[in-house]
A and B are shown apart, each in its own frame.
Chain A
Amino acid sequence: MRKTVLLVLLIMSLAAAYYLSCEFNISPNIASEYVAVHNKKIELCKTCPPGFMLDQENKCISKNLYQQYESLQNIGVGGLKTALPKVRDGFTPQQIDLGRYLFFDPVLSLDGSISCSSCHDPLKGFSDGLALGQGINGAELKRSTPSLWNVAYLNKFFWDARATSLEAQIQGPLYAENEMGNTPDNLLSALNQISTYRRLFAEAFTKRSPNDSIELIEIYTAITAFESSLISLNSRYDQYAHGFHNALSDKEIEGLNIFRSFVARCAECHTPPLFTNQQVAVIGSPEPEGSAFDPGAEIVFNDPTRRGGFKVPSLRNIEKTAPYMHSGNFKTLKETAAFYNKGRGHAVPEGEKLYLHWHIWEPDLTETELERLEDFLKTLTDESFMPRIPEMVPSEVNEQIKTPS
Chain B
Amino acid sequence: MYKKITLALLLLVAGILLGKYFFGTNDNAVVLPSPNKLYRATGEDGKGSIERNESLQGSIHEVKNGGSIQEAVKKAVPGDLIRVFPGVYKETVYVDKDDISFQGIIKEGEWPVLDGSKELNDAFLYSGNGILIENFKIINYKGNGIMGQAGNNFVLRNNWIMDAGVYGIFPQFGINGLIEHNILTGIEDAAIYVGMCDNIDVRHNEVFGNVAGIEIENSRHCLVENNLAYDNTGGVLAFITPGLPVKTTFDVIIRNNFISKNNHENFGAPGSIVSGIPPGTGILVMAADDVIIENNIISGNDNAGIIITDFKNGGAEASNDPDSEPNPDRVVILDNFMIDNGNNPVGELKALMMTQLSTTGPDILAIGGGEGSSIRDLKRYRTWGLGDFGSPEISSTSEVKTFLLDEPAEPREISKKDLGEMTYYGICSGCHAYDIRLIGVPTNVIQMIYKDNPQGIVDYINQPKNLREDYPEMPPQDYLSEEAKMAVAEYILSLKK
| Contacts from A to B (Cβ < 8 Å) | 5-6, 8-9, 12-13, 16-17, 20, 22, 25-27, 29-30, 47-48, 50-54, 63-65, 67-73, 75, 77-82, 233-234, 239-247, 253, 257-258, 260-264, 267, 271-272, 277-282, 301, 303, 305-306, 309, 344, 355-358, 360-361, 364, 384-385
Partner of A69 from B149, B411, B468 at Cβ < 8 Å: B411
Interface contact A361-B269, CB-CB below 8 Å: yes
Interface contact A13-B437, CB-CB below 8 Å: yes
Interface contact B427-A234, CB-CB below 8 Å: yes
Interface contact A20-B127, CB-CB below 8 Å: no
CB distance from A90 to the nearest CB of B (A): 14
A-B contact pairs, 19 of them (CB 8 A): A6-B468, A8-B445, A16-B436, A22-B436, A25-B436, A25-B437, A47-B433, A51-B426, A52-B425, A54-B497, A64-B425, A72-B175, A79-B151, A81-B128, A240-B96, A246-B479, A261-B147, A277-B245, A280-B319
B196 within 8 A of A: yes
B143 within 8 A of A: yes
Interface contact B165-A263, CB-CB below 8 Å: yes
Interface contact B426-A233, CB-CB below 8 Å: yes
Interface residues of B in 21-47 (CB under 8 A from A): none
A86 to B396, CA, bound (A): 40
Interface contact B243-A357, CB-CB below 8 Å: yes
Interface contact A234-B437, CB-CB below 8 Å: no
A348 to B434, CA, bound (A): 55
Interface residues of B in 74-126 (CB under 8 A from A): 74, 92, 94, 96-97, 121-122, 125
Interface contact A79-B173, CB-CB below 8 Å: yes
**CB-nearest residue of chain B to A72:** B173
B7 within 8 A of A: no
Partner of B121 from A65, A75, A258 at Cβ < 8 Å: A258
Do A77 and B173 form a contact, CB below 8 Å, given A234-B430, A262-B166, A357-B243? Answer: yes
CB distance from A300 to the nearest CB of B (A): 10
Do A79 and B246 form a contact, CB below 8 Å, given A72-B196, A234-B426, A262-B143? Answer: no
CB distance from A259 to the nearest CB of B (A): 10
A341 to B174, CA, bound (A): 28
Interface residues of B in 256-288 (CB under 8 A from A): 269-273
Do A79 and B437 form a contact, CB below 8 Å, given A263-B142, A357-B318? Answer: no
Tell me which residues across on chain B come within 8 A of A79, comparing CB atoms.
Answer: 127, 148-151, 173
Interface contact A30-B437, CB-CB below 8 Å: yes
**CB-nearest residue of chain A to B449:** A5
B386 within 8 A of A: no
| Contacts from B to A (Cβ < 8 Å) | 74, 92, 94, 96-97, 121-122, 125, 127-128, 142-144, 147-151, 165-167, 170, 172-175, 196-198, 241, 243-246, 269-273, 317-322, 409, 411-412, 414, 418-419, 421-427, 429-431, 433-439, 441-442, 444-445, 448-449, 468, 470, 478-481, 484, 497
Tell me which residues across on chain B come within 8 A of A357, comparing CB atoms.
Answer: 243, 318-319
**CB-nearest residue of chain A to B149:** A79
A272 to B172, CA, bound (A): 12
**CB-nearest residue of chain A to B320:** A305
Tell me which residues across on chain A come within 8 A of B149, comparing CB atoms.
Answer: 78-80, 260, 267, 272
Do A81 and B422 form a contact, CB below 8 Å, given A69-B411, A244-B480? Answer: no
Interface contact B271-A360, CB-CB below 8 Å: yes
Interface contact B426-A278, CB-CB below 8 Å: no
Interface contact B150-A47, CB-CB below 8 Å: no
CB distance from A380 to the nearest CB of B (A): 15
A280 to B319, CA, bound (A): 9
Do A65 and B438 form a contact, CB below 8 Å, given A5-B448, A72-B175? Answer: no
A344 to B243, CA, bound (A): 18
Most buried by A among B97, B151, B426: B426
Interface contact B421-A53, CB-CB below 8 Å: yes
Do A80 and B150 form a contact, CB below 8 Å, given A51-B426, A261-B121? Answer: yes
Tell me which residues across on chain B come within 8 A of A8, comparing CB atoms.
Answer: 445, 448
A129 to B409, CA, bound (A): 45
Do A72 and B143 form a contact, CB below 8 Å, given A25-B436, A355-B317, A385-B430? Answer: no
A350 to B321, CA, bound (A): 25
Given contacts A79-B127, A303-B320, A358-B318, 17 further A-B contacts (CB under 8 A): A16-B442, A25-B436, A51-B430, A68-B414, A72-B196, A78-B172, A80-B149, A81-B128, A234-B426, A244-B479, A257-B121, A261-B121, A280-B243, A303-B322, A305-B318, A355-B318, A361-B269
A233 to B448, CA, bound (A): 30
A240 to B318, CA, bound (A): 35
Tell me which residues across on chain A come within 8 A of B125, comparing CB atoms.
Answer: 257, 260-261
Tell me which residues across on chain B come within 8 A of A384, comparing CB atoms.
Answer: 430-431
Tell me which residues across on chain A come within 8 A of B426, comparing CB atoms.
Answer: 51, 63-65, 67, 233-234
Interface contact A51-B425, CB-CB below 8 Å: yes
Tell me which residues across on chain A come within 8 A of B478, comparing CB atoms.
Answer: 244
Do A63 and B173 form a contact, CB below 8 Å, given A12-B445, A81-B127, A277-B245? Answer: no
A360 to B172, CA, bound (A): 18
Tell me which residues across on chain A come within 8 A of B148, comparing CB atoms.
Answer: 79
Most buried by B among A82, A279, A344: A279
A303 to B312, CA, bound (A): 14
CB distance from B338 to the nearest CB of A (A): 31
Do A70 and B412 form a contact, CB below 8 Å, given A80-B127, A262-B122? Answer: yes
A305 to B411, CA, bound (A): 40
